[in-house]
Amino acid sequence: MAQPASGRPVVFRNGIVLTMDDRHTVLPKGDVLVVDGRIAAIGPELAAPDGALEIDAAGGILMPGMVDTHRHMWQTAMRAYGADWTLTQYFVWYYLQYGKLFRPEDYAAGNLISALDAIESGVTTSVDWSHGLRTPDHGWAAYEALASSPGRYVFAYGNIHEAPWEWTADPEVRRILETSRDDERMFGTQVAFDVSDQDAAFPELDAYRAAKELGLRVTTHAGVWGATNDWGIRNAYEAGVMEEGFTYVHAASLSAESYQKIAATGGNVSLATESEDTCGQGYPPIHQLRRYGITASLSVDTSVWMSADLFSAMRATVNADRALEHYLAHQLEPAETVTHVKLRVEDVVHMATRGGAQAIGKDDEIGSLEAGKLGDVVLLKNEDSPTWAPLINPYGQVVYQAQRGDVHTVLVGGEVVKSEGKVVAGDLPGVRAKLDTTVAYLEREIGDDWIAGQFPEIPEAEVLYNPYQYKK
Ligand SMILES: [Zn+2]
């Protein structure tokens, strides 16, 4: 499980290669060579430089590192805590009751574990939707945690505890944004806020202007049932501040007009399908994005509820779209039968790779295995697992059969960060120790509510009267 010396060329041999390029090239048996941090060549039996690390990919699948466009990394410090929550319970907990308890070091601990979690599952680029930055000290701590972690991170700065037109005006916040923007260790910087007021005066306009002044993109939760809806899109559109490359997260409960405005301005949507399935933002809008021609990427949202890997996201997305398609056909008068599904497994692999790269404006650098792109490569292979035999349809294998334990090797910029199934970058024991401190602190501060918060009351369910009584 040697991590090769930094800068050593790496060649993967004899894998099925899902390039995710524009021609949909799949090599049934091919090599991928990474030299000086970039993909040098893809093809059969490549010549590799002397001293290259050879990795046997036979029986496995090579694909680009995956891209997650919306992950609240700080909340990984409370992994699985809110698995039975609704969006309402989430808002009450983080926004009203306990989100402010997070100290800069707790915030950083969440980011650090989330970063290792991401690369472990083959996600090499994540947009950290960092919306609990209630002081600049939190901002610096969050940023430093990302910059020092293995993997690529886009720091999307946000603060749910203050109005966006307030915190974006803070000179110290602007200094953090500028520092992150100009830091080569970062893969991008964005401004993250929601338009949650139905105020015709549109005070959020100042936050859009701040992003523009700083040369940064905006990412915003839009189309979240009961929280952000059409008025936010309407205000932004009328003010002319919806720009190409802005990301609309969820976009699950919007009108046709809003989808058209997103499409017309070159916006993209981050689907967090596991989240939309369970929290209540609205039905996952895959069918709407298809209808209006909007670029889709995938995201995991938050591990306080859901899984933190894009295998689950891809599967949830296919399932949600196909379930709706069948259901709607069955409700028609007369009922119809869907004989051919619209959304294909290749489409969701595309969303998890190219879609994400396009969403953050980095399609020329990541998202596909093509010569010249950054050396972010994932090898899926698990010889000990019966799930890997036979290996017939690689897209089907990735979406419906594979899981994070099958991620054998991960390269970020040619550096091995996961090898033979184990994360070999970062400091997992050190991060675990930080998390222990954070969880003990939260438990102490919150008291009895710590347990109660995990087990919301269950509404009464009535079992219907059944006229059939089966008697022997
Ligand atoms: Zn979110």
From residue 204, alpha-carbon distances to 48, 160, 200, 233, 463 in Å are: 54, 13, 10, 11, 47
Q: What is the whole-number distance in angstroms between the Cα of residue 139 and the centre of ligand 1?
A: 18
pLDDT in the model for residue 2: 45
β-pair type (217-222, 247-250): parallel
Q: What is the whole-number distance in angstroms between the Cα of residue 192 and the centre of ligand 1?
A: 10
Q: What is the whole-number distance in angstroms between the Cα of residue 99 and the centre of ligand 1?
A: 15
Give tens-digit pLDDT for 150-204: 999 999 999 999 999 999 999 999 999 999 999 999 999 999 999 987 888 999 9
Nearest by Cα to 356 from 270, 452, 236, 466: 270
pLDDT reading at 118 higher than 50? yes
88-116: average pLDDT: 96
Token pair 């949909």 is found at 24
Length of the chain measured in residues: 472
17-31, 198-212, 340-354: range with lowest mean pLDDT: 198-212
Q: What is the whole-number distance in angstroms between the Cα of residue 276 and the centre of ligand 1?
A: 10
pLDDT reading at 40 higher than 60? yes
pLDDT in the model for residue 237: 97
Tokens representing 106 are 């707790």
Give tens-digit pLDDT for 315-330: 999 999 999 999 999 9
Give tens-digit pLDDT for 258-272: 999 999 999 999 999
Q: What is the whole-number distance in angstroms between the Cα of residue 387 and the centre of ligand 1?
A: 32
Q: What is the whole-number distance in angstroms between the Cα of residue 432 and the centre of ligand 1?
A: 24
pLDDT reading at 285 higher than 60? yes
Give tens-digit pLDDT for 42-84: 999 999 999 999 999 999 999 999 999 999 999 999 999 999 9
- Give 382's contacts (C-beta < 8 A, 6+ positions apart): 60, 388, 405, 406, 408, 421
Q: What is the mean pLDDT of the chain?
A: 96
335-364: average pLDDT: 98
Q: What is the DSSP letter of 16?
A: E
pLDDT in the model for residue 3: 53
343-366: average pLDDT: 98
Backbone angles phi, psi at 399, to 5 degrees: -80, -45
pLDDT in the model for residue 273: 98
In this structure, are residues 338 and 384 in contact, taking their beta carbons and an 8 Å threshold? no
Tokens representing 157 are 């700065």
Alpha-carbon gap, residue 398 to 60, rounded angstroms = 10
User: In which band, very low, low, confident or very high, does the pLDDT at 5 lie, cut at 50, 70 and 90?
Assistant: low
pLDDT reading at 438 higher than 50? yes
- Cα 262 to chain center, whole Å? 20
Alpha-carbon gap, residue 408 to 456, rounded angstroms = 38
Q: What is the whole-number distance in angstroms between the Cα of residue 131 and the centre of ligand 1?
A: 9
pLDDT in the model for residue 246: 98
What's the pTM? 0.97
193-217: average pLDDT: 94
pLDDT in the model for residue 99: 95
The 10 Å CB-count burial string (b at 16+, else e) for 3-26 is ebeeebbbbbbbbbbbbbbeeeeb
Nearest by Cα to 169 from 145, 140, 196, 205: 205
Please give the single-letter amino acid code of residue 330: H
pLDDT in the model for residue 315: 98
pLDDT in the model for residue 470: 84
Q: What is the whole-number distance in angstroms between the Cα of residue 364 and the centre of ligand 1?
A: 26
Alpha-carbon gap, residue 30 to 58, rounded angstroms = 9
Calculate what percentage of the chain has a pLDDT beyond 70.
99
User: In which band, very low, low, confident or very high, does the pLDDT at 1 lie, cut at 50, 70 and 90?
Assistant: very low
Alpha-carbon gap, residue 35 to 48, rounded angstroms = 9
Q: What is the whole-number distance in angstroms between the Cα of residue 236 and the centre of ligand 1?
A: 20
Alpha-carbon gap, residue 359 to 251, rounded angstroms = 14
Helices (H), 152-252: 164-167, 171-181, 205-214, 230-239
Q: What is the whole-number distance in angstroms between the Cα of residue 249 and the centre of ligand 1?
A: 7
Q: What is the whole-number distance in angstroms between the Cα of residue 313 and the centre of ligand 1?
A: 14
Q: What is the whole-number distance in angstroms between the Cα of residue 261 and the centre of ligand 1?
A: 21
- Cα 368 to chain center, whole Å? 17
Q: What is the whole-number distance in angstroms between the Cα of residue 71 and the centre of ligand 1?
A: 7
pLDDT in the model for residue 384: 96
Q: What is the whole-number distance in angstroms between the Cα of residue 302 and the centre of ligand 1?
A: 7
- Give 8's contacts (C-beta < 8 A, 6+ positions apart): 51, 52, 53
Token pair 């419906």 is found at 400
Give tens-digit pLDDT for 405-421: 999 999 999 999 999 99
Give the three-state DSSP class for 88: helix
pLDDT in the model for residue 200: 82
pLDDT in the model for residue 4: 56
Q: CA dihedral defined by 430, 157, 267, 126, rounded to 10 degrees?
A: -10
